[in-house]
Structure 1
């Protein structure tokens, strides 16, 4: 344990030094876009995803498809080009829903969130909150129509949850592999993984290692940007955008995947295929005790803070250079 603590201290020191010594960001200094996120809309998105006839898990394909169809309809309503990435697992068909913005030959920026759940629960924070964020960011693109040379892909993944987590059957693995196989350049990927649960109570935030309590808050009132150790640039870009574009408190960490939780979402598959990726998260089970429980319901979310997270990520995306 002592060796692990020493390693974590060294990691944090290196990250801090690199941030000071290399303060290069790809976020513009100014933005004229006024980003207004509708809390009623994002709440409605969460409610819609949480009220399928059965839990939207891999066993209940009809309910999973109902959620996927809702996402597709919302992307279409926004006015974006939309496609389905259909793949087969053990003789059953599943699908990622993808919407596009920007020139077809542009370097890719992927924004993704999984829409399936683990077991028989509603999955409001995990991960209807992330999907609601994905939909709202897409709406903001269509409202403001930012000029860009990038090709943005808004991807709603299926099969992120067990028993498919860390397998080639994850929807995000299928998507990342397809980009790699086609030789498509990917600038960055952002995974929206549980962005709706917050608390102002002291000691409401936990960490995978006790030493992290020396560097991070005890209140679960911030959003985290999580990146791979040695890949701090994209983490700093997203963190910078979140801070400039919203009122939410933002913390970040770049650490090895061996630290619990660092690679616990769809971004891990983009790392595996050699792409830069980060996770934007409320830190999942390190604060939200409703994780993978029937108590993960829409009324437990803070839609105001969730809206601020969405504003911040949108601002970062609008201002990438």
Structure 2
């Protein structure tokens, strides 16, 4: 596996750090001192996740999708859609890319930075996953002028239908996306899926851990976690190492069997 997190890929985790710092300011008591990035993040979260948005609330889901597309267009992208039927509704994944691929050629190397933009039933989804959606929007904006290595394409993907009842089913947005990549014969070497980044606490005992991991990781929820399966252990190590080189923000890594509670509970499972 090519090491994506060396050389210019450190830019991704360095910018991720800036976004994490912005996320930490997304509280009413800190709103007055929010940075420009923090304010942009706040606006994204408010626009995407101020109300429940999923196939039970199709108008709200459509508003979230339109906001994402409009924001990407303002950043200079031409978003593409992967549309399909799910839950009796027409839904879509949204995608943009930065690439260094010769005209008429296929990318030799694809890397995905993604997040789901639907919310769970009964919830507006500010943390799950307005925070991840906002982070990918800002990463896409900040990386618009960065040229990847030759033959490489970085895709920023906003997945629909991550939440139940679609999770791990054929109508899950990331499953649809992965199936289309396979149909086209395109291989993805790595993916960074941003999920529930808005939760942060300095209180002892605020971090709950899956069975078997108690005592192996901090019980204070003030860190970012890079999580993957055993098969992705090299990528987890690379991402964690690059992040730690760029930042002293607390970070942990976990590569565990897929059956471990929580390890595959998002779009990276696709």
Partner of 1:172: 174
Any conservation in 2 of the 1:99–1:154 contact (CA below 8 Å)?
A: yes
1:177-256 residue pairs with structure 2 within 5 A? 177-209=179-211, 211-256=212-257
Q: Note if contact 1:96-1:157 (Cα within 8 Å) is conserved in structure 2.
A: yes
CA contact (8 A) 2:100 2:148 kept: no
Unaligned runs of 5+ in 2: 20-36
- Per the alignment, in what secondary structure is the counterpart of residue 79 of structure 2? strand
Q: 1:121 to 1:185 in 2, by over 3 A?
A: same
Query: CA deviation digits over 1:49-87, x for unaligned, max 9?
Result: 123xx5201111111011001001111111123101100
TM-score (norm 1): 0.71
Deviation of 1:30 after TM superposition, in Å, equals 8.0
Native 8 Å contact 1:229 1:254 kept in 2:
yes
Partner of 1:45: 44
Shift of the alpha carbon at 1:146? 3.3
Q: Give me the whole-angstrom Cα distance separating, in 1, the residues matched to 2:5 and 2:124.
A: 36
1:232 deviates by 1.1
Instruction: State how far apart, in whole Å, the 2-side matches of 1:225 and 1:42 are.
Output: 21
1:78 to 75, 78, 81: 75
What is the distance in 1 between the residues matched to 2:138 and 2:229? 26
Name the SS of the counterpart of 2:174 in structure 1. helix
Structure 2 CA distance for partners of 1:111 and 1:26, relative to 1, 3 Å: closer
Give 4+ residue runs of structure 1 displaced > 4 Å after superposition.
29-37
Larger mean CA deviation between 172-181 and 246-255 belongs to: 246-255
Shift of 1:226: 0.7
**Unaligned segments of structure 1, at least 5 residues:** 1-23, 270-321
RMSD value over aligned CA atoms? 2.1
Deviation for aligned residue 1:268:
0.7
Aligned residues: 242
- If asked which structure has higher relative contact order (CA below 8 Å, sep 6+), I would say 1
How far the C-alpha of 1:91 sits from its partner, in A, is 4.2
Residue 27 of structure 1 deviates from its aligned partner by: 3.3
**Counterpart residue number, 1:310:** none
SS at match of 2:214: helix
**1:109-142 deviation digits (Å, cap 9, x = unpaired):** 1111111111122111000000001001101112
